[in-house]
Chains A and B, each alone.
Chain A
Amino acid sequence: KQEVTQIPAALSVPEGENLVLNCSFTDSAIYNLQWFRQDPGKGLTSLLLIQSSQREQTSGRLNASLDKSSGRSTLYIAASQPGDSATYLCAVRGNNDMRFGAGTRLTVKP
C-alpha cells in the first residue's frame, strides 16, 4: 500500500528566501506525482504534475523534481512571497487511486 510522507510538517521563512519542500513515497510504481496548494478551508489548486518518466517540471518560481527510484520528490520555491503562505500537498497517482501526503504548512513572513 502506497504511503506518502511530507517533511517538514510546517515551515516558516522570511520573505525572499528560497525553500525546498520534501515528499517521499514507498512504492515507485507510479503514474505521476502532482503538487497542490491548499489555502485554509479551500480546495486544492494544482501547481505542477510530473509524469513517471520525467525528472522535473517548472512553472514560474516553482520547480518540482522526481526521483522515482528513491521514492522522492521536492518542490523548490524561489524568492518566496507572503502570498505563497499555504499548505502544500503532494499526491502520488498509482494504478488505482491517488494518495496524498499530510502536507507542509508554509508561512512566509513579510
Chain B
Amino acid sequence: EPEVTQTPSHQVTQMGQEVILRCVPISNHLYFYWYRQILGQKVEFLVSFYNNEISEKSEIFDDQFSVERPDGSNFTLKIRSTKLEDSAMYFCASSESWREADEQFFGPGTRLTVL
C-alpha cells in the first residue's frame, strides 16, 4: 500500500543552524502539507502546497520556514535559523486533491531537537 515517507526520523541540531526535512508523498497525490506537533500539544497546520506554490499557510509559518518540491518526488521543509521552540515532531501529509472526499495521509514524522 502506498505511503508517505519522511527522512530523517530524528534530527538534532544546534540553535541557529538550518535544517531541511524531507518527505516523499504518495506518488499520484497533488496536494502536500506540513504539520508540527510540539511534545504534549495539538498537531498544528503549517502549510499546504499545490502546483509548485504555497496554497495556504498558518501564522506559525513565518519567514524562517520555506517549502520546496525540488524534483518529481520530494517535498521539503526548510527552517533557516532554528530556535529552541522549533523542537517538535514534523509531519508531512499528502492528498489526491482538495475535494471533500480526499483523506490526508500522514508520514511517520521527523523528530527535530534543537539544542
Give the interface of A toward B (CB within 8 A).
31-32, 34, 36, 41-46, 49, 51-53, 89, 91, 93, 96-103
Contact = CB atoms under 8 A, between A and B. Distances in A.
B106 A44 contact: yes
B107 A34 contact: no
A46 B106 contact: yes
Given A49-B101, A97-B48, A43 B106 contact: yes
Nearest to B106: A44
| Of A36, A44, A89, A101, most B-chain CB atoms within 10 Å | A44
Contacts of B104: 34, 46, 93, 98
A96 B56 contact: yes
Given A42-B109, A43-B107, A43-B109, A91 B43 contact: yes
A43 B100 contact: no
Interface in B79-115: 91, 93, 98, 100-101, 103-109, 111
A88 to B, nearest CB: 12
A43 to B, nearest CB: 4
10 contacts: A32-B101, A41-B111, A44-B43, A45-B106, A46-B105, A46-B106, A91-B43, A97-B45, A97-B58, A101-B42
B18 interface: no
A46 B111 CA distance: 20
A41 B48 CA distance: 23
A96 B98 CA distance: 10
